[in-house]
Structure 1
Amino acid sequence: MSTNATTSARSKPPLYGWHFAATTLLTLVMLAAMTVHFGFQALAHTARDISGAVLKHVEAQQGLGMAPADIVEQSLKEFHDAAQIEVCIGGRCATRTASADTPFNAELRAGLGWPCATQAVAHRGSTRTATVCMAIDDVMEDIGRDVMVLLIAQAIGFGIWFAATRRFVARREIWTERVARAATTDAATGLLNRASFRVALDEAAARGDEGWLVLAGIDELKSVNELHGSSVGDHVILTVAERLKDLGAVVRVLGRTGGDEFAFVLDGASPTTLERSLSRLRAAMAAPIEHQGLLLSASISAGAVAVERQLSAAELMRRANVALRAAKKVGPDSQSIFNVAYDIELRKHHQLRLDLMNAVERGHLELVYQPIVDARGQVVVAEALARWKHQELGFVSPEVFIAAAESSGLIHELGIALLKKACEDLAAARRRGLPLKRLAVNLSPAQLTNPDLASIVYAVVRGAGLEPADIELELTESAAMASRQDATQQLRELAEVGFAISIDDFGTGYSSLSRLQTLPLSKLKIDRSFVRAFEEPSGAVLLDAMMDLSRRLGLSCVCEGVETAAQMHWLRDHGCDLFQGYLIGKPMPLDQLIGLGFRVPLPGATVAPDPARRSA
C-alpha cells in the first residue's frame, strides 16, 4: 500500500456516531413499547375496578331516581384517573369525557389498545353497563422520564466510550505504524530492509530513472566479530550506515540488504558520478571507528550496475552481486562494475558444478592409473587419477572439477565415490593376475574436515574385500602441513587402522621439519619441478637433499615427472627409491595397466622376471 493510500485510510472518520445513534433509537423504541404495554395493562386493571364501582354507584343512585348522565358526571368527579365513563341503563346511555384526547369510538379504542374496561349486570329484566377508559397521562410521563434517563445514561456512556475509543484508536495507529515500519525497515540501522529496497528499486526502474545500483559489503566484518564480539561488529555496521547517509542527496534509495551488505541507488547515469560517489565513500571509510576504547578500521568493497528500465529489481540485485563478487576477488576496498564476460564465466562455473553433481550421482567419472616403479622397473604402486569427460566440453581438467567440487561441498561425496571405484578396480586387477601391491588415492584437504573420515574410508575399503594396507592415501604438501588439529587427528586415525600416508608435490609447499616428524607419513613424493631442474647445480643439490631427507626420516622417496633416460639414470644413481612419469608410463585405463604386467622396461635397468607372465 502506498503512503497516500495509508494516510487516506487513517483520515477517514469512523462511523461510530451513526452506530451509536441507531442503537440509541432502537433502545428508545423498545423502552417506549415496553412502558406502554405494561402501563396499559395496569390501567386496564384499574379500569375494571372503576367500572365495577360505577355499576354499584348506579344501583345505589338509581333508587333515588338519578338520570344516567348525572350518575356519569358524579362518577367522573369521584374517579379522577378515568378519562371517559359511559353508563347504559335499559338502552339509555350517557357518556362524559374528562379529556378531549380520549377516542369515543369503541372500534378505535380497541384498535389502539386503549386501557378501557366494560362490565354489565342484569337488573329486573334490563341490562346495566358501565364502560371506563383510563387517562394515559401517567404512562406518557413514565415514557418521558425513562427516555430522559436513557438519553442521559447513553450520553455519559458514549462520552466515556468515545474517550476510551479515541485512546485505543491512537494506540492502534501507533502500533500499526510500528508494525509497518518493522516490516519495511532494518531494525538495527533504520534503513530500508531487503524486501522494501527491492520494491523501491522496481519502482525506480519502472519510472525509467537513470542511476547506478551499488551493492557495498563491509570487508572483514566476520573477523571483527570473532576478535571483539558482535556488539563491536554491530557498532561498525551502524557507523557504516551513518556514513552512507552522509553521502547526501546523490543517494536516492538506501537500504541494508544483508548482514554486512548495503545497497543504494545513485542519481546520474555517468560513470563519473559513480566514481565520484565511491571516492567520497572510500574517503569517509578511511576515518577510524572508535568504540569501547578500540580503534578500528573498516573498508568497503562495492559492485555497481546501471539501472535499466527493462531489468527487474531481482536481476539488478543479481548483477550487483556479481560485480561485488568480482570486487572482493580483487581484495578489500575494491570496486567493480558489472561485466558481462565475468557473469558468463560465473554462470558456466555454476553450470559446471551442477553437471559435476549429476556426473557423480550417475557414476560418470572414470579412473586412470599411472604406474610407480622401483629401480628394476617393477610396478610397486599405481596412482589413481580421476577423469571426467563432459558431454559438451569434452575432458575437463582435474584441477577445474576438483576445485568446483571443493567449493560446492561435493568433494566428500566425490572422494568416496572415486575411492570405491579404485578399490573395485584393484580387486578386479588382482583377480586378473596383476600382483599390484597397492593403489594410491588422492585425498582433498576439504575431506580432512569430516570427523568420520577414517571410519568411512575404512568401511569402503573393507566393503570391497581389501585391507587398509592395500590403499595409500596421498595429500598435497600444503594439506599435510596444515596446522589444524582436526586434520592431524584424521591422518593419525587413518594411519592407526593401517592406511599408508604420503605427501604429494613435496617441495612446493611450506613444510615444517617438526611437522614431518609428528605426522604418520610413509612416503614423500618429490614434485616434478625439481626433477626437471636436476641438470642445474642448485637444482641437483636441492633434489639430492630432499631424497637424503626422506631416507633419514625413514620414508620412501618417489620422484615425479620422470620423462627422460638422463633423469632416470641420475635419480637411480643418487639412490631414489621409486619413479613416476611419462618415461615409465602415462595415466592409462585399468585394462592397459593389467596388460602392462608386473614390470616396465627401463633404460639401463636389470630385467626382472614378470611373475604374472611366468605364472601364466
Structure 2
Amino acid sequence: MNHTHGFYDPLTVFIAFAAATAASYFALTLAGRLFLGTTLRRPRLLAASLVMGTGIWAMHVIGMLTTWLDERIDFTPGLAGLSFVATAAACFGAFMIYTGGKQSFIRLCGSSVLLSFGITAMHFTGSAAMKSPREVHYNFTLLGLFTFIVFIAICSALLLFHRFHAHRAHRSWKLLCAVLIGLATSGMHYASMAAVSREPFGSAHAALTGTGEHSSILLLAVVIGGAFLLIGISWTSLLYDKKVLEKMAYSDALTGLPNRHKLSQQYNDFSMIYEEGFMLYIDFDRFKMINDTMGHDTGDRFIQQMAGRLQEVLDKRQTLFRFGGDEFLIISSGARRDAEHLADRLILHLKQPFLLLDTEFYMTASIGISLTPQHGTNRLSLLRAADIAMYHAKTAGKNRYCIYDEETNLHTLRKLELEKGLRKALQMQEFDIHYQPKWDADAGKVIGLEALLRWRHDMLGPVSPAEFIPITEETGMIVGITRWVLRKVCEQNRSWQMSGLPRLRISVNMSIRVFESGKLEEMVREALQSSGLNPDDLELEITESIAMQDIEETINQLNAVRAIGVKISMDDFGTGYSSLGTIDRIPIDTLKIDQAFIRQSALPAKQAIISTIIAMAGHLQLDVVAEGVETEEQIRFLQSRGCSVMQGYYYGKPMPADEFYAWMKQLLRDG
C-alpha cells in the first residue's frame, strides 16, 4: 500500500498558501463591512463567500496539479466543480452565522465548525475527482485530527478578527487572521495527502488514456479564471462600498442633498471659485411645532417637501445643502443684489401652503446672508457670518432676511458674552433683588412691593433686565433663577417682619418657561416652607401672553398655587392678546394697568381705556394697580376713576433691600 505523497515544488506550495491567505484577507475585509449594519447584507455575504471559497479551492487545485506522483492522474470536472460549491457554501454559512448578531461562544464555534467541515468536504470531493488506477483508502483518524486542527486555527482567526476589526492596527490583525486561515487550509490539503493510501486494482496496473493532460489544462484554466474572479469580486465590492460610504458621508439621508461634510470637502477657499459670491443660511420658523404636534415622521416629510420647494427656486449656479434639522444652506456666485433677489424669491415661494396629512400648513423662514469677499473668503468665516445674520433675522421678527454687518456681529457677540456670564451669575452672587413700593393713595401708606431682578456683570457692569431676561428665557435658565428669586424674596419678607416692619405682600414676576416646566407649585411651596412666610404675603405676577399660551394648563397651575393661599395678579393688562371671553376664567386677584396707558393718560382715548379697565375689574371683584405713576395729574385722574393703589417713581424707585428697609423705617418714623 502506497501513500499519496509524491514530491512537492516549494514554490508552488507557497503560491497555494499565498492564494488561500490573499483570498482570506479580502474575504475578511468584505465580512468586516457586515459588522457595520444590515445595508446590502446578502450581496456582501455572497461576495465574501465567493472570494474565500475561490481562494481556498484554488489552493487545493494548485496543490493537486503541482504534485509529482509516480503515475498519471486525471480529474472529473463535475466533482471538481462540486468541491468548489462545497467550499463556497461553507464560507457563506460560516459568515452568515458569525456576523448574524451579537457575538457569542456558540456563534463562534458554529461558524468555525461549518467552515472546517466545508474545507474537509472539499478535500474529500476533490480527492474523489481524481481518476487513479489505484484504489484509494483513507486514514480517518488522521483526517479527524487534521480537521480538529483546522477548526482550532479558524476559531482563533475569527476570534482575533472580531476582537480587533475596529482596532487602530486592524489591518495587521486582519493579515494575521488571514495567515492563520491560509495555514489551516493549505496545511489541511498537504496533511490530508498523507492520510490517503492507494493500492493497485488486482495485479494489473491500469493505464490512463491520454485525457489527463487535457483535463489538467482545463482545470488549471478554471483556477486562473477563478483567481481573476476573486480579484474582480473583491475590488468591485470594495469600490462599491467606497461609493456607498462616500454617498452616506457626503449626502443627507432624508433629502439626498449634499451635507455639511460635502461642503467642507468641496468649498474651502471661495476666492479660488468665485470672484463674487454669497451664502444664504436658511432656518425655518416654528418647525419645532410640527415635530411636537404632528410627530417626527410628519416633520421628516415636511423637510423633504421643503427641500423640493427650495430647489424649485434655484438655478444651475446655485447649490443647496442640508445641514440637519430645519437648516439649509445655499451657495452661489453673484453680487449682493443677486443674493437679495434670491432671498426675496425664497421668502415669497415658501409662503405657499404645505400639505401634510391632508392638512395645510404655513411656514416662514429666516435667512442670513454673507458675501464674499466682503465678509471673508474661507468657508468658516462665511458660515459664521451667515449664521449670525440668520440669528439676527429671527430676533428681528422672523420671516425675513438679514445681511451680515459688523454691528450685527457686535450685538451677537455681546449676547453670547451675556449668556456665558448668566450661566455663572447665580454661583458668583451677581444677582440682586430690588423692591419697588406699591402705594395706597387713599390710605397714604405702602401696602406691598414688587421684586425686580438686577444683574451686575463682573466685566460689563450693570445689565438692563430688558437685555438679559429674554436670554434667560431663551436658554431656560429663567426657571432656576425664578426658584432662587422666590426663595430670597420670601426669606427677605420674613426677615423684615421679624425686625418690626408691617406685613407687606411682595409680588414676583413669572415666566412662561416656569409654567412649561411644571414646577411652579413645587417652587412656591419650597420657598414658603423654607422661609416660614405666610402664603398671603406672596403674590405671583403673570402676563396675558402666559395666561393664553396653554390656558387649561395655566389655569390648573394657578389654581394649585391659589389653593396654598398665594395671590395672583395679571401684569401689563391691555397690552397682550387675552380675550374678554376668557379673562373671567383665569384665577387672578388683581389687574395691573400697563404704564403705557398711564403715561398717556392725558389723552381722551387712553382715559377711556383706563376707565374701562377699572370698571371691568370692579365688576369682576378684582383689585387694580396702576403702574408707571410719575405725576400728581396722573394720581388725581386715577383716583377720580376709582383706582387708589399705584406704583411708580412718584412714590419710590426700585431699591436694594437694605435701602428699602431704611426708607421704610424713616417713613414709619415720619408716620
C-alpha distance in 2, partners of 1:215/1:30? 68
One-letter code aligned to 1:199: Q
1:256 is the counterpart of 2:322: yes
Which residue does 2:305 correspond to in 1? 236
1:494 deviates by 1.0
| Residue in structure 1 matching 2:486, options 419, 427, 452 | 419
The one-letter code sitting in structure 2 at the alignment partner of 1:359 is A
Distance in 1 (CA, whole Å) between partners of 2:510 and 2:655 is 20
2:315 paired residue number: 247
CA offset digits 1:105-157 (Å, max 9, x no partner): xxxxxxxxxxxxxxxxxxxxxxxxxxxxxxxxxx9x99x99988765544334
What is the DSSP-based 3-state SS (H/G/I as helix, E as strand, rest coil) of the residue aligned with 2:482? Answer: helix
Q: 1:454 aligns with which of 506, 521, 527?
A: 521
Q: Look up the match of 1:397.
A: 464
1: CA distance, partners of 2:520 / 2:581? 25
Give the Å deviation of 1:302. Answer: 3.6
Is 1:31 aligned with 2:98?
no
Equivalent in the alignment of 2:446: 379
Query: 1:235·1:291 contact (CA, 8 Å) conserved in 2?
Result: no
Q: Identity of counterpart residues, as a percentage?
A: 28
Tell me the amino acid that sits aligned with residue 186 of structure 1. Answer: D
Segment of structure 1 superposing worse, 400-409 or 478-487? 478-487
Structure 2 CA distance, aligned partners of 1:421 and 1:474? Answer: 16
**Aligned to 1:517, what secondary structure does the other structure show?**
coil
**In the alignment, is the contact (CA less than 8 A) between 1:384 and 1:422 conserved in 2?**
yes
Change (3 A) 1:257 1:459: same
Question: Which stretch of the first structure deviates more once superposed, 209-218 or 359-368?
Answer: 209-218
Confirm whether residue 305 of structure 1 aligns to residue 370 of structure 2: yes
Structure 1 pair 554–591 and aligned structure 2 pair: CA distance change class (3 A): same
TM-superposed deviation, 1:202:
1.0
Matched-pair contact (CA < 8 Å) for 2:310–2:346: no
Partners of 1:476 and 1:506 within 8 A in 2: yes
**Does the Cα contact within 8 Å between 2:274 and 2:333 map onto a contact in 1?**
no
AA at the equivalent of 1:243 = E
- In structure 2, the residue matched to 1:468 is 535
Q: Quick one: distance in 2 between partners of 1:426 and 1:233?
A: 52
In structure 2, the residue matched to 1:443 is 510
| Offset of residue 510 of structure 1 | 3.3
2-structure distance, mates of 1:283, 1:386: 42
Distance 2:593 2:551 in 1: 23
Q: Which residue of 1 aligns with 2:566?
A: 499
- Aligned partners of 1:262 and 1:502: how far apart in 2? 44
Q: Secondary structure at the match of 1:274?
A: helix
In structure 1, distance between residues paired with 2:366 and 2:445: 57
Amino acid at match of 2:474: S
Moved more, 271-280 or 348-357: 271-280
Give the SS at the match of 2:487. Answer: helix
Please show how residues 189-588 of structure 1 align to structure 2 within 5 Å. 189-202=255-268, 204-205=270-271, 210-217=276-283, 229-230=298-299, 232-240=301-309, 242-243=311-312, 247-248=315-316, 250-251=317-318, 253-268=319-334, 270-275=335-340, 278=343, 301-308=366-373, 311-329=377-395, 334-374=400-440, 375-572=442-639, 574-588=641-655
Question: Are the structure 2 counterparts of residues 154 and 203 from structure 1 closer, same or farther at C-alpha, using a change threshold of 3 Å?
Answer: farther
Structure 1 residues 358-389: Cα deviation after superposition (integer angstroms, max 9, x where no partner): 21232211111122233222322121111112
Deviates more, 1:202-211 or 1:497-506: 202-211
* Higher helix fraction (1 or 2): 2
Equivalent residues of 2:351, 2:363 under 8 A apart: yes
Q: Which amino acid aligns with 2:556?
A: Q
Instruction: Return closer, same or farther for 1:206/1:460 CA change in 2, 3 Å cut-off.
Output: farther
CA distance in 1, matches of 2:430, 2:412: 24
Question: Structure 1 length normalisation: TM-score?
Answer: 0.67
- Cα distance, 1:260 vs structure 2: 3.2
Equivalent residues of 1:197, 1:254 under 8 A apart = no
Alignment of 1:13-92 (within 5 A): 27=63, 31-32=67-68
Q: CA deviation at 1:482?
A: 4.1
Kindly state the Cα deviation for residue 396 of structure 1 after the two structures are TM-superposed.
1.7
1:379/1:598 contact within 8 Å kept: no
Cα contact 2:366–2:400 (8 A) shared by 1: yes
Q: Distance in 1 between matches of 2:323 and 2:597?
A: 50
The amino acid across from 2:454 in the alignment is R
Give distance in 1, aligned partners of 2:422 and 2:237: 58
Deviation by residue 1:424-477 (Cα, 9 ceiling, x = unmatched): 211221222112232211112222112121112211221122232221111223
Q: Is the 8 A contact 2:450 2:508 kept in 1?
A: yes
Q: CA deviation at 1:342?
A: 0.6
In structure 2, the residue matched to 1:60 is none
Tell me the distance in 1 between the aligned counterparts of 2:446 and 2:600. Answer: 25
Q: How many residues align?
A: 482
Could you say if the C-alpha distance between residues 285 and 544 of structure 1 is closer, same or farther in structure 2, counting changes exceeding 3 Å?
A: closer
Matched with 1:595 is 662
Q: Answer with 235-244 or 296-305: which moved more.
A: 296-305
| Conservation of the 8 A alpha-carbon contact between 1:379 and 1:599 | no
In 2: Cα distance, 1:536 partner to 1:280 partner: 44
SS at match of 2:621: coil
Residues in 2 aligned to 1:276 and 1:566: alpha-carbon distance in whole angstroms? 53
Give the AA of the match of 1:385: L
Partner of 1:85: none
TM-score, normalising length: structure 2: 0.62
Tell me the distance in 1 between the aligned counterparts of 2:574 and 2:397. Answer: 28
Stretch moving more, 174-183 or 343-352 = 174-183
Matched position secondary structure for 1:257: strand
Structure 2 SS opposite 1:516: coil
Is the 8 Å Cα contact of residues 369 and 402 (structure 2) preserved in structure 1?
Answer: yes
Letter in 2 for 1:264: I
Give SS of 1:369's match: strand
- Give the Cα–Cα distance (whole angstroms) in 1 for the partners of residues 348 and 510 of structure 2: 46
C-alpha distance in 1, partners of 2:633/2:352?
62
For 1:236, the aligned partner's letter is Q
Following superposition, the deviation at residue 283 of structure 1 comes to 7.8
8 Å Cα contact 2:269-2:377 kept in structure 1: no
Per-residue deviation, 1:292: 8.8
The residue type paired with residue 371 of structure 2 is A
Separation in structure 2 between the aligned mates of residue 331 and residue 540 of structure 1, nearest angstrom: 31
Query: Could you list the runs of 5+ residues in structure 1 that have no partner in the other structure?
Result: 1-15, 37-138, 601-609
Provide the rounded CA distance (Å) in 1 between the counterparts of 2:549 and 2:352: 36
State how far apart, in whole Å, the 2-side matches of 1:288 and 1:160 are.
60
Instruction: State how far apart, in whole Å, the 2-side matches of 1:332 and 1:382 are.
Output: 37
Contact 1:243 1:285 (C-alpha < 8 Å) held by counterparts: no
> What are the Cα deviations for residues 279-332 of structure 1, in whole angstroms up to 9, with x where unaligned?
666787688878998888776654322234965423221211222333445566
Alignment match, 1:183:
249
The structure-2 alpha-carbon separation of the partners of 1:175 and 1:461, relative to structure 1 and needing over 3 Å to count, comes to same
* Structure 1 residue aligned with 2:104: none
Indicate the residue corresponding to 1:108 in structure 2.
none
Determine the C-alpha separation between the residues in 1 that align with 2:538 and 2:416: 33
